């Protein structure tokens, strides 16, 4: 009988996660890792929308490594709306001085190299809706953590939620029900409500702004 996958990362993986650039706190990271290890048991890839510098990718990659599946991360690496110059979450170190635009791809590659997880990740450089249109396979987990406007969050959901396999997990980050707690807009919250109302997904857990839902029906 196969051993149950560990639902907590090894100390060195957790240390790599905490050392990487990014915004996901430890508690949400642990919840994401637990969801990823359970979803990976389906034997299907784990996909993330919104790579940034690879902080959460570390967790998905280690869960994928443990199960012998692939972690796929999709990002154009030009930064989401709140990461552009003049905004609160802008990091000038991520700007390519030659073209004057954000480019988080080099930082992401360094993150994976330091964590020793490069061979377990497929990095897709492109815009999420365009990649979703040409994607053909089922996924054990979809983690939505891309742009936070209604346009972007809705496109990520409509593009990728159909690919979540029966029993697979849909994970949504930055879900803020109370406008007082708003950080990046409430678009992810509206996507979360839509997923529940669809009847296709049932909530499994909630840790701070992270929501984990399981596909229990058809549709989106």
Which residue in 148, 152, 163, 173 is the catalytic one?
148
Residue 16 neighbours by CB under 8 Å, 6+ apart: 58, 111, 114, 115
**Euclidean distance between CA atoms 135 and 150, whole angstroms:** 22
Cα gap 185→187, rounded to integer Å: 6
Q: Annotated catalytic, 76?
A: no
Residue 36 CB-density burial (10 A; 0-12 exposed, 13-18 middle, 19+ buried): buried
Q: What tokens appear for 148 in the block? A: 């936070």
- The 10 Å Cβ neighbour count of residue 133 is 8
DSSP conformational letter for 43: S
Contact 162, 138 (CB under 8 A): no
Report, as residue numbers or ranges, the catalytic residues.
148
């Amino acid at each position: 009988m196969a051993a149950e996958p560990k639902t907590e990362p090894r100390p060195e993986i957790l240390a790599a996660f905490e050392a990487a650039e990014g915004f996901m706190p430890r508690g949400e990271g642990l919840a994401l890792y637990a969801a990823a290890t359970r979803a990976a048991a389906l034997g299907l890839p784990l996909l993330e929308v919104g790579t940034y510098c690879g902080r959460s990718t570390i967790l998905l990659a280690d869960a994928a490594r443990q199960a012998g599946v692939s972690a796929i991360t999709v990002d154009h690496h030009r930064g989401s709306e709140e990461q552009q110059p003049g905004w609160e979450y802008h990091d000038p170190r991520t700007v390519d001085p030659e073209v004057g635009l954000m480019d988080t791809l080099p930082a992401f590659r360094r993150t994976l190299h330091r964590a020793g997880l490069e061979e377990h990740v497929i990095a897709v450089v492109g815009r999420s809706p365009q990649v979703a249109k040409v994607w053909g396979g089922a996924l054990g987990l979809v983690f939505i953590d891309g742009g936070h406007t209604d346009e972007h969050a809705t496109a990520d959901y409509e593009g990728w939620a159909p690919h979540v396999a029966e029993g697979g997990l849909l994970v949504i980050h930055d879900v803020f029900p109370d406008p007082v707690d708003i950080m990046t807009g409430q678009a992810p919250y509206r996507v979360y409500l839509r997923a529940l109302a669809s009847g296709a997904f049932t909530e499994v857990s909630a840790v701070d702004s992270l929501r984990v839902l399981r596909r229990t029906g058809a549709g989106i």
